[in-house]
Structure 1
C-alpha cells in the first residue's frame, strides 16, 4: 500500500510502521475502518467512554451482531464486563449486572489466560462455551495486550456458524491494539492528539482546493467525513482547531472566492447574480448574498458593478 496515503499517515502515531506495512493493497478497507475507529476516539478522556465507543463502532462499522469488552481484575482473577453493544446491551451505556468470568473459564477466560486470539466456528462443539442469554453459532475473542500482559478481551458472538473469518480476526487484533493505546494515552494524561491530525487536514484541504467539493450545494460535514473515513465530530474539531473557523465558514469562503471570479469573468456576463451563486455551490440566493456580504463587506451586485467600472 502506498505509504503516503493520508489514512496511513493519519494512523502513524497509533500503529507501528511494521503493523501498517502488514496491511496490503487488498485490505484498503482495513485502513478506512481503523481511521474511523481512531478518529472517533479523539475526544474520549475516560476509559469507560473508550470501551463503549469501541463496542458501538464494532457493531456499526463491522456489521457484527454484538461486541463485549471485558477487563481483567488480576487480583480476583476475574474478567469483568465493562461495555457491550448488540444483543447484550439495553440501548444505553450502562451495565447494571456485569457478567464476570473466572480467568481460564469459557472461551473468553481461556483467551485471557493464554493471550492468544481464537475463532470458534461452531460453539456448540466447544465444551468451553458458556451460554449466557441465547444460543449462538460462532465466536471470536481477542486479547487486549500491554506488551505480553493481558488486561482484557474483546469478544463477539454471531448467530451463524462459521461466520467469523481470518479477516475479522486480523481487524479485531488491530482494534484491540488501538483500544490499548488509547487507554494508555488517557492513563498517561497525554494532551497531544491521538492521531496525526495534519494528515487528515491536508487531505480535507486537497478535496476542497483541488477537487472543488465546495461546488456541491448538498455538501455536508457528514458526507465529507464519510469520504475521508473519519468521524464527523473529529472532522468538525479538526477544522475548528487548524483553520480557526467552522466547517460552513471554511466551505463558504471558497464558494465566495469562486463567485468573485465568476462575477467578473466574461463567460458569466449574461448570468444573473443568483445563477452565479448556484454555480459557486450555494443552494439559495439568500445564502449566497449573506455569505458574500459577510466575507467581502459588499453585495454581489455591488462587487460586479465595482469591477465593471474598474475595467
Structure 2
C-alpha cells in the first residue's frame, strides 16, 4: 500500500514539474518573440534639412570650377533623400511612419520658392504610402530642390540665413517628433550671420564671419588657446535638444587662414554640445564632392 502511494505521489510530482517547465518555456518563447518583433521593426525617421540660401550659393560671387557650391548642395540633398527612400523601402508598409522636410530661416521673399518648399514636406504612413510613391521620393525631392536653388540664384535676393534664430525659436517644434529618430541636416558654409539675430554676450556671439575670426586673432596656430582662454564661441540658443541629431554639411572656410575650418568646427561643435544635441557631426571640414560623401550620408541614415 505504501509503495502504491509512493508511486502515485512520484507520478503526480512529475506531471506538475513537466507542466511548470512547459509554462516556463512558453513564457520564454513569448518574450523571445517580442524581442524579435521589436528588433525587426525599424525606427521611424523624421529628417529635416535646413538650407542656407545666402549669397554663398552665388556661382558668380563664389565660383568653383570643379563643382559649384549650389550643385554640391543638390548632391548632398540627393544623398539624404535617397537614404530616406532606402529606409522606407526596407520597412513593411504597416510600420511606416516617417517624414522628410526642408526649411529656410527666414523664409525666402519669392512666393514660388515657398510654394515649392511645401512640396518638400513629405510624410509617409501606412494609410498614404504606395510602392509608386516610395519610388518617386528621391527623384521628386532632388528635382524640386534644384528648382528652388535656380530661382534663388536667378533673383539674387539673398536674405541670408538666420541659423541661430532657427535653433532658438523653431527647431523644437519643427524638427523633433516624439517616437522618431530626429535628424537635422544643415547645408551651410559654416558661417552664421543675420541682421535680426546679431548680438554678443561677453565674448560669445550669435554670429561668425571671416571678419570676426580675423579680428579675434583666431587666424594663427594659437586659435585653440585663445578660444579657451577668452571663452569665444556662439551664444547658446537652446538647451533641450537631446532628442535631435545634427549633421552639418558643405563647410566652406574663407581662404587665407589655414586654421579657418578648425575655428568654424570648434565654434559649431561646442555650440551643439552646449545645447545637448545628440552626437553632432560635421562632414567634412571643407566642402567635398557629393560622390565622396554619398556613402557616408546613406550609412549614417540607415545605420
Task: Tell me whether the two structures share a fold, i.e. TM-score over 0.5.
Answer: no
Larger Rg: 2
Q: State TM-score, norm by structure 2.
A: 0.24
Q: State TM-score, norm by structure 1.
A: 0.24
Q: RCO greater where, 1 or 2, for CA within 8 Å and sep 6 or more? A: 2
